[in-house]
C-alpha cells in the first residue's frame, strides 16, 4: 500500500497525508443503517398461477389468497385487489451530515370476476423485485 | 394511507443527530411519456396497458367505464440544525432547526370504455419538481 504503481516506496510525507485522510474519514463516518419494512404478505407465484380463468370461483380465490384488501366494481366486474408494499431504507450518518433514502415499491394483484362469481381475468404487477438499498438522496 | 406511511418514515429516518440531514422517499418509479406512447385511444386494451406498464395502483368505476391509476410519490426532506455547533462549548445541546419537506406526486391515469378499450390517458404531473432546501419561510 505504501508503494506507488511502479513499486517505489511512497515518500514519508505522502504516507502521512494518506493516513491523516483515512483517519479523518473514519472519524466522520459514525453510523450506517439498513432498515427494511413490509406491508402485507408476499404473493406466492404458485398460488397466483393456480387461479384459472373461467374455472376458479370467488370462494376459492379467497381461500387461496385470503380476504382482498379492496373490492371494486367496474364494467360489470367485481374486482378483488390485493396489494403489498416493500420498503428498503439506507442511512449514512456522518458527524456533520446525514444522508437517508427510502425506496418503496408495491405489488398489485387484481382478480376480476364475472356476474357468476367466476374468475374472468387476473392482473399481477410485481415491482418489489427491483427495489434496492440506497443512501444517496440526490439525483434520480 | 401513503401520506401517513411517508410521515412516519421521514420522522423515523430524520432522527439523526448531524447538523445537516437529507432524506428522500420514493414510492414506485414514474412512467415517462415515451413509455406510454404505445397507447392508442380506441384500439389499445386494458391487457395491452398492463402488459407494458404493469398492474395499476388503483382501478375505479366511472359513469361510462373504468379508470386505472398509477401512483408515484417523491418526497425530499432537508434539515439544518444551526445550534449543533454550540454543543462543543455549551453545557447543554441547543437546537435551532430549520427544515422543509417537499412532496411531489405523479399520477398516470388511463380511462377505459365498457369493453376495456382505452378512451384516453393523461399524466397528472406535480406542479414543480421538489428540491432539497431547508428553508421553511
ipTM reported for the complex, 2 dp: 0.74
List residues of B whose CB lies inside 8 A of any A CB: 5, 9, 12-14, 16-29, 47, 50, 54-61, 65-66, 73, 76, 112, 114-116, 132
| Domain count across chain B | 1
Facing B55 at nearest CB: one of A94, A110, A130 = A110
The predicted structure's pLDDT at residue B133 = 77
Contact B20 A76 (CB under 8 A): no
pLDDT tens over chain B, length 137 residues: 555 565 555 555 555 567 888 988 888 887 888 888 999 999 999 988 988 888 898 899 988 899 999 988 888 888 898 888 888 888 888 888 888 888 777 889 999 999 999 999 998 865 555 677 777 77
Contact B13 A91 (CB under 8 A): yes
> Average pLDDT of chain A?
84
Residue B43 lies in a domain: yes
The predicted structure's pLDDT at residue A57 = 94
CA A41/CA A129 separation, integer angstroms: 14
Contact B27 A105 (CB under 8 A): yes
- Which secondary structure element, helix H or strand E, spans residue B51, and what is its range? helix B46-53
CA B126/CA B27 separation, integer angstroms: 14
Strands of A40-126, DSSP E: 70-74, 77-94, 97-113, 119-126
A123 touches B at CB < 8 Å: yes
B40-50 in b/e burial notation, b at 16+ Cβ within 10 A? Answer: eeeebebebbb
Contact A110 B59 (CB under 8 A): yes
Over the stretch A43-90, which tens digit does the pLDDT of each residue have?
888 888 999 999 999 999 999 999 999 999 888 889 999 999 999 988
The predicted structure's pLDDT at residue A37 = 87
Q: Which has more pLDDT, A8 or B44?
A: B44
Pairing mode, if any, of strands B118-124 and A29-39?
unpaired
The SS3 of residue B46 is helix
Task: Kindly state the percentage of chain A with pLDDT values over 90.
Answer: 29
Using 50, 70 and 90 to split pLDDT, how confident is the model at A1? very low
Residue B10 lies in a domain: yes
The predicted structure's pLDDT at residue B68 = 93
How far does B23 lie from chain A, in Å, by closest CA? Answer: 5
User: Chain A, 6-45: which have a CB under 8 Å from a chain B CB?
Assistant: 31, 35, 39
pLDDT at A7 over 50: yes
Q: Which CATH architecture has domain A33-130?
A: 2-Layer Sandwich (3.30)
The predicted structure's pLDDT at residue A45 = 85
How far does B66 lie from chain A, in Å, by closest CA? Answer: 6
Residues of B in contact with A38 (CB under 8 A): none
A89 touches B at CB < 8 Å: yes
Residue B17 belongs to what domain range? 2-124
Facing A102 at nearest CB: one of B18, B25, B114 = B25
Amino acid at each position: 500500500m505504501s508503494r506507488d504503481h511502479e513499486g517505489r516506496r511512497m515518500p514519508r510525507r505522502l504516507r502521512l497525508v494518506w493516513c491523516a485522510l483515512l483517519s479523518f474519514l473514519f472519524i466522520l463516518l459514525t453510523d450506517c443503517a439498513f432498515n427494511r419494512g413490509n406491508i402485507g404478505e408476499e404473493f406466492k407465484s404458485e398460488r397466483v398461477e393456480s387461479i384459472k380463468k373461467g374455472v376458479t370461483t370467488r370462494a376459492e380465490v379467497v381461500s387461496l389468497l385470503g380476504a382482498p384488501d379492496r373490492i371494486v366494481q367496474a364494467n360489470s366486474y367485481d374486482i378483488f385487489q390485493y396489494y403489498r408494499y416493500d420498503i428498503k431504507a439506507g442511512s449514512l450518518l456522518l458527524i456533520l451530515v446525514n444522508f437517508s433514502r427510502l425506496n418503496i415499491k408495491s405489488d398489485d394483484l387484481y382478480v376480476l370476476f364475472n356476474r357468476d362469481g367466476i374468475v374472468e381475468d387476473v392482473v399481477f404487477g410485481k415491482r418489489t423485485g427491483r427495489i434496492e438499498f440506497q443512501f444517496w438522496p440526490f439525483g434520480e | 394511507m401513503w401520506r401517513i406511511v411517508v410521515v412516519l418514515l421521514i420522522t423515523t429516518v430524520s432522527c439523526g443527530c448531524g447538523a445537516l440531514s437529507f432524506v428522500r422517499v420514493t414510492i414506485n418509479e414514474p412512467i415517462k411519456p415515451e413509455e406510454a406512447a404505445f397507447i392508442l385511444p380506441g384500439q389499445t386494451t386494458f391487457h395491452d396497458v398492463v402488459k407494458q406498464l404493469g398492474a395499476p395502483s388503483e382501478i375505479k368505476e366511472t359513469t361510462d367505464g373504468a379508470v386505472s391509476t398509477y401512483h408515484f410519490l417523491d418526497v425530499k426532506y432537508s434539515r439544518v440544525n444551526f445550534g449543533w455547533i454550540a454543543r462543543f462549548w455549551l453545557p447543554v445541546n441547543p437546537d435551532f432547526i430549520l427544515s422543509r419537506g417537499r412532496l411531489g406526486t405523479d399520477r398516470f391515469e388511463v380511462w377505459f370504455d365498457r369493453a376495456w378499450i382505452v378512451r384516453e390517458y393523461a399524466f397528472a404531473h406535480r406542479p414543480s419538481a421538489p428540491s432539497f432546501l431547508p428553508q421553511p419561510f
